[in-house]
Structure 1
Amino acid sequence: MRNHLILLSGWGLGSAALEPLAASLRAQDAGLQVELVALPEWVTDDPNVWLDKLDRHLSKDTWLGGWSLGGMLAAELAARRGDRCCGLLTLASNLSFVARPDWPDGMAADTFEAFVDGCRGHTSVTLKRFKSLCSKGAQEQKSILRQLEVGVPDTDPVLLVNGLKILGQLDTRAALQAYGGPQLHLFAGADELVPAKAARALSDLLPDVEVGLVEDASHAFILEYPQDLAAAIKTFLHESGDD
Structure 2
Amino acid sequence: MSCIFLLTGWGVGEQCLMPLVDELAKLNHHVIIKNLPYLAEPKQWFSVLEKQLPENAYWVGWSLGGQLLSQLTMLKPKQCLGLVTLASNVSFTVKEDWPYAMDAAVFNQFEQSYKDAPKQTIKRFLQLVSQGSSEPKTMVRTLQQAVSDDVMVYGDIGLTLLANLDTRLALKQLTKPQYHLFAEQDALVPIACATAIGDWLPEAKIEIFHQAGHAFVIQESAVVASKIDQFIRGCL
2:9 corresponds to: 10
CA distance in 1, matches of 2:6, 2:145: 18
Q: What amino acid maps onto 1:138 in structure 2? A: S
Shift of 1:137: 1.3
Pick one of 145, 158, 180 that aligns with 2:140: 145
Q: Percent of aligned pairs with the same residue?
A: 36
Q: Are 2:14 and 2:33, in contact at CA under 8 Å, matched by a contact in 1? A: yes
Write the mapping of 1:1-243 to structure 2, written as runs, cut at 5 A.
3-27=2-26, 29-30=27-28, 32-44=29-41, 46=42, 48-155=43-150, 157-240=152-235, 242=236
Q: Aligned pair in 2 of structure 1 residues 229, 156: CA closer, same or farther (>3 Å)?
A: closer
Shift of 1:156: 5.5
CA distance in 2, matches of 1:42, 1:60: 24
Q: Are 2:11 and 2:151, in contact at CA under 8 Å, matched by a contact in 1? A: no
What is the TM-score when the length of structure 1 is the normalising length? 0.94
CA distance in 2, matches of 1:168, 1:77: 17
Q: Aligned pair in 2 of structure 1 residues 156, 230: CA closer, same or farther (>3 Å)?
A: closer
CA distance in 2, matches of 1:201, 1:73: 20
CA distance in 2, matches of 1:104, 1:232: 28
Shift of 1:84: 2.3
What is the TM-score when the length of structure 2 is the normalising length? 0.96
CA distance in 2, matches of 1:158, 1:34: 27
Alignment coverage as a number of residue pairs? 236
Cα displacement string for residues 126-166 of structure 1 (whole angstroms, at most 9, x for unaligned residues): 00000000001112112211211123222253401111101
Considering only aligned residues, what root-mean-square deviation do their CA atoms show, in Å? 1.2
CA distance in 2, matches of 1:153, 1:209: 32
Q: What amino acid maps onto 1:5 in structure 2? A: I
Cα displacement string for residues 102-145 of structure 1 (whole angstroms, at most 9, x for unaligned residues): 00011111111111111111000100000000001112112211
